Chain A
Amino acid sequence: MTAPTIAPPERSAATAIRQRLLTGSVVGPLVALLIACAFFATQTDRFLTGGNLSLIIQQVMVVGTLAIGQTLIILTAGIDLANGAIMAFGTIVMTKLAVESGLPPLLAVLAGLAVCTAFGLANGLLVTRVPLPPFIVTLGMLNIAFALTHLYSDEQTVTGLPPELTALGNTFAIGDTQVTYGSVVTIALFLLFAYLLGQTAWGKHVYAVGNNAEAARLTGIRTNRVLLGVYATAGLVYGIAGLLLVARTGVGDPQAGQTDNLDSITAVVLGGTSLFGGRGLILGTLIGALIVGVIRNGLQLIGVPSIYQILITGILVILAVTVDQISRRRVK
């Protein structure tokens, strides 16, 4: 069921299907992921090993986490072009404060998370209070965060990080497989937001605002407050993505994240979330991110140049949106 305030009282079979389509389904993306995995497993025996699967999760954790924030925003019929740049600024804040200003690592991380949350909040205020279209707000913020990153970092990669900053890159063993703590954080975040979106009133309000903001407002949902919360939460999540990035690469890199805005949108779309808002599941986004990671890793293992991964991803995005459009039309 979606927002209880707008749900129709009767429960016919047609309504059930309609409800289901309004929130989306992960069946399509999941089938695509499994087929891709099956394909690569038949091509090379190096694909389906614990170590390699763990590696794929590590490789998608940063974009995957960014895509959590992106999903929240897209569910409200918005878009965030600035998430990679905000994350990059967060990583430079964390690493510079810890290395050069000698701040305790935990405080440096908190400062980085706070900065990212502030960026998200600023986006939310501009979208709700002025109000401006999310595309324009985040396009502006993309440039602002990019410039601040390069100014503050003085174009220098920050190295020599204290071990606390890269702790999420450490591993523990499940059987013979080494898994990073960062991968666990990413999965846990996905589960947390799946719960928040699916089981709480807040989640239902997010879907309602994305479906029809005016109708949601008339039913008593404070749409601006929901939007502000979504953008600020997304900012915080970008900060966590930044911490994961630092853990993964072991440095603070001012060049990082330049294509991550589009990569995160790709994951959201491949996961079956509608760019028109109000429909989609956060776990679909995880699957979308994994599809990209599996194709990249699998093609590399069988010796296909990385450019083909980009080609295939492009085609998949268009196919995924086509599927979304066709199923939307049928619902109507």
Chain B
Amino acid sequence: MMAKYGKTVGALALTGAMLALGACGGGSDTGAQTTPGGQGGGAIKVGLITKTETNPFFVKMKQGAEQEAKAKGAELMSAAGKFDGDNASQVTAIENMVAAGVKGILITPSDTKAIVPAIEKARRQGVLVIALDTPTDPQSAVDALFATNNFQAGVLIGKYAAAANAGKQLKIATLDLAPGITVGVLRHNGFLSGLGVPGITQDTKEQATDPRVVCSQDTAGDQAKGQTAMENCLQKDPGINLVYTINEPAALGAWTALKAAGKDKDVMIVSVDGGCTGVKAIQEGKIAATSQQYPLKMATQGVDAVVSYAQSGTKASGYVDTGTTLITAKPVPGVESKDVQYGLQNCWG
């Protein structure tokens, strides 16, 4: 009997620890909570579902949402996937938030198509759903989209690269996101369009190309993968002199590879994002220019939209551009840009 008894005691200890932790978790997060009983009469509940918990972009987004929720007396619930592309966790989070009685959900969809049925289900139950940063496919699956115009973000750095390299024979490497992800295609195509490649529009679904693009690799926006991709591109064509990257971690990875090959002074890197690390890299001359986007603004406006829906029943709709600014330390004539100082004041991460 001893063994069996020991097992039960163990199980009890286990649940005790779990409960203590559960209580701890609850305690550390009561900042935004008003009614632990979960009664409907309390604060307006707003859900925020990001792709991951760790990316500084989403950390900033969450901060913005928390601040705004506090200011408006609303309660923010948050959740995230375990990795970029983790649709199942986002579906589960939507269901749980609807069960928790949220008025609206702000979501950065990890898989733009796969999330759609879950979003539609939530909307049928009267929940306002706003996509932040990344549009769903189709975009009309959500009530509204608050996001950077990623095509325009690409156009800005494309135009900059064209003007800064006027008269030069370009050999381009593009370090992209991942196949089939809209944000990556939009930035890539915007860049080429800004560079002057004809026939590309915002509606071009396929990742466009150009004879000057000698190497395109997927990096998942990851620094280590960016470095590997750049190394491989240099193997393919050592004459590369312009590098487009999906974001600054990929850009810094590319810079590390270029530096190791002794080419960091001769090759221009342009990127999209505008994170603080990225802007500092511009200051240090590693990256030439970046299109800065504003996750804080997306979150703030998203929370406001849910609160106003809860109060007046007015649903936000359509696309709201949260803006992009070209940040560079070396401005070129004819291309509007802001300096590093402005970039640092408005950066995230």
Contacts and interface: CB of A to CB of B under 8 A. Distances in A.
A297 B99 contact: yes
Contacts of A326: 6-7, 10
A41 to B, nearest CB: 11
A44 B38 contact: yes
A31 B88 CA distance: 28
B330 to A, nearest CB: 37
A311 B79 CA distance: 14
Contacts of A156: 179-180
A47 B243 CA distance: 52
Chief secondary structure at chain A's binding surface: helix
Contacts of B82: 259, 310
B78 A39 contact: no
B12 interface: yes
B75 interface: yes
Residue from the set B10, B14, B77, B91 with the largest chain A CB neighbour count within 10 Å:
B14
A323 B11 contact: yes
B317 interface: no
B86 A255 contact: yes
Contacts of B38: 43-46, 301-302
Contact of B11 (A20, A31, A52): A31
A247 to B, nearest CB: 10
Contacts of B110: 255
Contacts of B86: 255, 258-259
B100 A316 contact: no
A259 B17 CA distance: 25
Interface in A153-199: 154-157, 159
B22 interface: yes
B178 A28 contact: no
Contacts of A126: none
B77 A300 contact: yes
B165 interface: no
A128 interface: no
Of the listed residues A249, A327, A331, the one surrounded by the most CB atoms of chain B closer than 10 A to its CB is A249
B11 A27 contact: yes
A299 to B, nearest CB: 6
Interface string B1-39: 111101110111111011101100110010011001111
Interface residues of B, number: 60
A35 to B, nearest CB: 4
Given A27-B7, A306-B78, A258 B85 contact: yes
Nearest to B110: A255
Interface string B67-92: 00000000111111011011111011
Interface stretch (B112-120, B156-164, B260-268, B338-346): B112-120
Given A17-B3, A43-B26, A51-B99, A316 B80 contact: no
Nearest to A45: B38
Nearest to A320: B14
A300 B45 CA distance: 12
A58 B92 CA distance: 9
A188 B99 CA distance: 26
Nearest to A305: B78
Nearest to B53: A307
A323 B7 contact: yes
A17 B1 contact: yes
A298 B180 CA distance: 34
B308 interface: no
B87 A253 contact: yes
Nearest to B7: A327
A64 interface: no
A245 B111 CA distance: 15
A62 interface: yes
B101 interface: yes
B96 interface: yes
B88 A62 contact: yes
Given A32-B15, A255-B85, A52 B75 contact: no
Contacts of B75: 303
Contacts of A215: none
B336 interface: no
Contacts of B327: none
Most A CB contacts (10 A, CB to CB) among B22, B29, B53, B79 go to B22
Interface in B238-295: none
Nearest to B96: A300
B14 A28 contact: yes
A35 B15 contact: yes
A300 B14 contact: no
Given A31-B11, A300-B77, A251 B22 contact: no
Contacts of A311: 21, 25
B79 A306 contact: yes
Interface in A8-48: 17, 20-21, 25, 27-29, 31-32, 35-36, 39, 43-46
Contact of B99 (A301, A303, A307): A301
B155 interface: no
A55 B95 contact: yes
Contacts of B8: 27-28, 31
B85 A31 contact: no
Contact of B96 (A154, A256, A296, A327): A296
Given A245-B88, A310-B82, A327-B10, 9 more contacts: A25-B4, A29-B11, A32-B14, A35-B15, A46-B38, A296-B96, A303-B77, A308-B21, A312-B21
23 contacts: A32-B14, A35-B19, A43-B38, A44-B37, A46-B100, A55-B96, A156-B179, A159-B116, A249-B88, A251-B114, A251-B116, A259-B86, A300-B96, A302-B26, A306-B53, A306-B79, A308-B25, A315-B17, A316-B14, A319-B17, A322-B10, A323-B10, A327-B6
Closest 8 CB pairs of A and B: A28-B11, A44-B38, A250-B117, A323-B10, A155-B179, A300-B96, A255-B85, A308-B25
